[in-house]
Structure 1
Amino acid sequence: MRRTLTLAGLGLALVLAALWLSGAFDALSGWIGAAQRATQDRLAAAVRALRAGEPGAVAGLLVVCFGYGVLHATGPGHGKALIGGYGLARRVPLARLSVLALASSLAQAAVAVVLVYAAVAVLGLTRDAVTAAGGGWVTATGNLMVVGLGLWLVIRGLRGLGRLRSTAQAGSRDHDPHTHAHDHDHGPDCGCGHAHGPTLDQAAAVTSFRDAGLLIAGIALRPCSGALLLLVLTWQLGIGAAGIAGAFAMGLGVAVVTVAVAGVAVWAREGGLAVLPEGRLRWALPMVEVAAGLIIATAAIMLLLRQI
């Protein structure tokens, strides 16, 4: 089973590399962009139908919004990278990571609603001003939180490596005065009086709510531009409730993709780690955490630099 998971993971990596080298990702990106523009036209038509009071217009709007969310999530964006990177960095069970992915997508929709109604209904800002705010300081704040999460993963991974190194050195000193004529293995409950590192169950637990909060906030504070436009338009037309429902339908569409990314991340992580023995696995987990944290922080910093 371990060999199967490893071979499957390597096969997936080779397929992705071949697609990237062949330029297939560029073609896919172009197709996604065209599909998003076509869906925006359908979205405008659905809003007009709702405004005209046509039968089934609400259901039609929600379906189009859901599809737009799926397409939006398949395009470039840091939400998928953040969920996937965190899934690789931390040994979080798939169910918990999927809940985080769903919560972050719905929180993203909620931020869009709050931003639009605070800016338009309360402050009287224009649609362009709302869109600029959504892509300006709000997004910058989210990216800063993502940088913080990445750096926190790096620090925690380095601390984990430090603890393992200290434990190994202490164990070496404890065993210096004598030699063993027999082979033995120190498991997590070997009875020698000191711990040799966290157990796999301890590593699988989410250590605090700090990670979850930063993860959700980092994604939520980058609202979908389509949701912002929909909310402003429906508010101006007097059908704001439909716009709010549509924004959350978009969030559910985004969640479909982010949950799938979470599943791939967990599968890739477990497949890659399955071939490692227990002792090496304890070292591999914090190393992966450091690497993923560096990738997350670097990607967020690059997004921040683009805004300057």
Structure 2
Amino acid sequence: MKLAFVFPGQGSQYVGMGKNLAETYPEAAAVFQEADAVLGFKLSELCFNGPETELVRTANTQPALLTVSVAALRVLANAGIQPAMVAGHSLGEYSALVAAEVLSFADALRLVRRRGELMQEAAPPGTAGMAAILGLEREQVVAVCREAETLGVVEPANFNCPGQIVIAGEKAALEKAMELAKARGAKRVVTLNVSGPFHSSLMLPAARGLAPALDEVEFYPPQVPVVVNVSGRILTDPKMLKQSLLLQVQKSVLWEDCIQTMVAAGVDIFVEVGAGKVLSGLIKKINKGVRVFAVEDAESFQRTLAELREVG
């Protein structure tokens, strides 16, 4: 058995996330208390009770999801469950770096709060967005984006799993790419309810703003291998891990590649650590031969623990 932890990104948030963990496990409650103290406001209250209108603001969503993931991580660690490898989807890469002891939780919190603010500011509301294209191959989506670029910036943003690719770009170019994708036989093309064209070159201002914040933070050698979004490969050098976070803001998330790398390294069990089960669904589509669990509350933790003890 070779176990990997994976950590969700933006889109997995919901009002009430982490509340049951904090009420059940003191180590999880301590994580929320630390987050409140570091950020100087009641992030815990926002996670547990909303309002949703505030929780979905990128500057709040990012530290909120990180905190829920780290709370679940601490519960797993307290039970003696440790990963052999880690990865995170977009924002989730910060949670993975906390799990690998590259970043302290407090530093990660400050970074993702700043990252969220910068990403929120990078593109004026209504000028750009994202869309999911279902049922086309990578090459087809890349070709569609190139063809639509006569109207502005549009690029592949997330290679999530076979047949599910997200694109991001300026409004006119994005709409043209969506039309072309439908014409090329996409099963579905769905506009995403997000506040900006994340993981595209339009996020370059956010990357520039994030650079000084990253420079102030100490990155340590990872205690377990980290697979990064920008290359889908393992990185062990702290400087390279820091650089990958800078690139990640404005480059495609190669999630399918990340999972394939972990499977090739012998991982046969994945545990999604934090809110929701988005990554669990993607992993099952990438490789049907691996086992996938998710831990977001006491019930899912106990169920995962029982299953892991059985296979272990």
TM band (smaller chain):
under 0.3
Bigger strand share: 2
Q: Which has the larger radius of gyration?
A: 1
TM-score, structure 2 normalization: 0.23
Q: Which has the higher contact order (CA 8 A, sep 6+)?
A: 1
TM-score, structure 1 normalization: 0.23
